[in-house]
């Protein structure tokens, strides 16, 4: 099965570390990153989709970050 996650965070180095950590754990980039202004907080936000081919079948209770 292919697992999917959307990683999000403020536009800081923490976002880059979050994506780098996912890549180090075998996740692959999926599509282009997104960048948007969050009007309520006044901060820029980043998002990057990642996927990973994992054994088994989908279960809604699985913790995707632990795959």
- Count the domains in the chain: 1
- Tell whether 46 is covered by a domain: yes
Query: 9-38, pLDDT tens digit by residue?
Result: 999 999 999 999 999 999 999 999 999 999
- pTM of structure: 0.89
- Tell whether 64 is covered by a domain: no
- Tell whether 67 is covered by a domain: no
Which pair of tokens denotes residue 42? 């006044």
- Tell whether 48 is covered by a domain: yes
Backbone angles phi, psi at 17, to 5 degrees: -65, -40
Contact call for residues 21 and 52 (beta carbons, < 8 A): no
Domain region containing 24: 2-58
DSSP structure string for 27-44: -EEEEEEEEEEETTTTEE
């Amino acid at each position: 099965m292919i697992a999917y996650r959307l990683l999000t965070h403020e536009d800081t180095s923490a976002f880059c570390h979050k994506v780098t950590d996912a890549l180090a754990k075998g996740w692959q980039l999926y599509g282009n990153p997104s960048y948007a202004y969050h009007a309520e907080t006044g901060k820029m936000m980043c998002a990057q989709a990642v996927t990973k081919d994992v054994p088994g079948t989908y279960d809604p209770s699985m913790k995707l970050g632990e795959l």
